[in-house]
Amino acid sequence: MSDKATLTYGDQSLELNVVEGSESEKGIDIGSLRKETGLITLDNGFMNTGSCSSRITFIDGEKGILRYRGISIEDLCEHSNFVETSYLLLHDRLPTKEQAERFSGLLNRFSLLHEDMRNFLKYFPLDAHPMNILGTMVNALSSFYPNVSANSMDEEIDICGARLISKIRTIAAFAHKKSIGEPVIRPSKDLSYCSNFLNMMFSSSVSDYELDDEQVKALNVLLILHADHEQNCSTSTVRMVGSSQANLYASISSGIAALWGPLHGGANQAVMEMLAKIHESGDIHKYIEMAKDKSNNFRLSGFGHRVYKNFDPRAMVIKKYCQNVLNTAAGKDPLLETAMKLEELVLKDEYFVSRKLYPNVDFYSGLLYKAMGFPVEMYTVLFAIGRMPGWIAHWKELTSDPTAKIGRPRQIYTGYTERSYTPMAER
Ligand code: CMC
């Protein structure tokens, strides 16, 4: 027998079904509430509202668990790479050898940009933010390529997914080259996904760029760790836009716009800005004391998390696999030295220890991007490249669900009650 919850309001009482997920998490299904009682629920920021059921990603914030399609991020970072993890997210299963080869072949085939899109890119101003270029160009893809057909989703998602996952990397690198006024470097059929991206970003016809295996592994790890995080702001945006049956490219482009905000994908940039200030001042202790002072609004960016209260599993994985990249760069970059010193002091400080404030994913990802040589305005772009398979998987899940409905929240109206129109002369 399934659980029930009873809601009482005045003399009305309503029995509501309690639904249970595969990891035993429970939610009250309020679908019949308005019909039965005339009431709606109000939940600012969706702090308690589940917008859907999903098979894609499981998070347990208390235990520090993050799993894609049942497989932990630790397991994926140890054994997999970003391309295989993308396939897993899109299909709910790891690929066979043949499936993996086909998917890689598609990524290679779709890595070039249509020449007309290159012309389009040419006319952005030189100082255009790469996130703006990314969102606009991804939206424009819908003019160049067909949408996924709902009837043959399973076959076509490989093609459309590979097209997006491959092209976003090319667009990102081209946007960077444009911002520094250099000619673009085209993708190569001989390089893997991450190597190709690093090469397009950093090589040029006048200077050789040597791929470093540790950096390629670190980039794979970072992209895997960003690949999905269930119903976050940008993914919820993709689902909301997709729920009107908007095409895949338009839905993803909306997700890119949501990710650009500093409360979401922009936190890694805030960490680097804070570190620069600490470094300039030469006084780490002053900033730690400021963060502890309740009369001061200052907080240490990159510490603490709303969902992960004991530790951020993504930060732990980054430390495990990327420490060498950081160590190698730290000797050459005083900001990285500052970061490591700050982390060491914070982890010993009673204020942070007692509040369970550990470094989060953004603390390390910004540092790593810096160590690899990415300019700061590319950090959120890297987040977007990583999140692409998650967005596509959620769009697919939503649009293939026969019970899905258009997303249309209610509201409590707080404006004027009825009043009549005042002619201009009387205002
Ligand atoms: N520096 C100093 N004190 C802090 C910090 C911090 N970074 N984070 C939390 N606290 C204190 C806070 O003042 C409060 O103290 P007290 O109990 O004495 O009042 C206590 O810790 C609990 O804080 P809270 O604001 O209730 O915690 P929250 O879960 O609402 O906030 C947070 C989580 C991430 C917004 C917060 O930790 C924070 O502002 N961190 C800095 C910004 C940051 O790094 N954001 C990136 C998050 S990871 C990206 C993602 O996954 O989306």
* Atom number in ligand 1 closest to CA 363: 44
Residue 218 pLDDT: 93
Ligand 1 centroid to Cα of residue 296, in Å, is 14
The mean pLDDT of 384-404, rounded to a whole number, is 96
- What distance in Å separates the CA atoms of residue 378 and residue 172, rounded to the nearest whole number? 8
The mean pLDDT of 355-362, rounded to a whole number, is 89
Residue 157 pLDDT: 87
pLDDT class for 331, splitting at 50, 70, 90?
low
* Atom number in ligand 1 closest to CA 355: 21
Ligand 1 centroid to Cα of residue 309, in Å, is 10
Per DSSP, the three-state class of 28 is strand
Sheet holding 57-60, edge to edge: 57-60, 65-68, 71-72
- What distance in Å separates the CA atoms of residue 110 and residue 62, rounded to the nearest whole number? 41
pLDDT by residue (tens digit) across 263-272?
788 878 888 8
pLDDT by residue (tens digit) across 224-268?
999 999 999 999 999 999 999 999 999 999 999 999 987 788 878
Residues annotated as catalytic are 305, 362
Instruction: Report whether pLDDT(330) > 70.
Output: no
Report the nearest-CA residue for atom 26 of ligand 1: 306
Instruction: Report whether pLDDT(1) > 60.
Output: no
Residue 230 pLDDT: 96
Report the nearest-CA residue for atom 24 of ligand 1: 306
Per DSSP, the three-state class of 343 is helix
**What lines the ligand 1 site, CB under 6 Å?**
267, 291, 299-306, 355, 357, 360-362
Pocket test for ligand 1, best of 357, 363, 380, 383 (most atoms within 8 A of CB): 357
Ligand 1 centroid to Cα of residue 305, in Å, is 6
Instruction: Report whether pLDDT(184) > 90.
Output: yes
Residue 366 pLDDT: 87
- What distance in Å separates the CA atoms of residue 272 and residue 270, rounded to the nearest whole number? 5
Paired tokens of 375? 């300019």
Q: What is the mean pLDDT of the chain?
A: 93
Paired tokens of 159? 């093609």
Instruction: Report whether pLDDT(64) > 90.
Output: yes
* pTM of the predicted structure, to 2 decimals: 0.91
Least confident of 2-6, 266-270, 286-290, 315-319: 266-270
pLDDT by residue (tens digit) across 406-419?
999 999 999 999 99
Ligand 1 centroid to Cα of residue 360, in Å, is 10
Least confident of 24-28, 119-123, 282-286: 119-123
Pocket test for ligand 1, best of 310, 360, 367, 380 (most atoms within 8 A of CB): 360
pLDDT by residue (tens digit) across 118-143?
888 989 998 899 999 999 999 999 99
Could you tell me the sign of the dihedral formed by the alpha carbons of 41, 404, 396, 171, in that order?
Answer: negative
Ligand 1 centroid to Cα of residue 230, in Å, is 20
Stated as kind and residue range, the H or E segment containing 363 is helix 361-372
* Atom number in ligand 1 closest to CA 314: 51
Report the nearest-CA residue for atom 41 of ligand 1: 301
How deeply is 316 buried, as exposed, middle or buried, from its count of CB atoms within 10 A (0-12, 13-18, 19+)? Answer: middle
* Atom number in ligand 1 closest to CA 299: 1
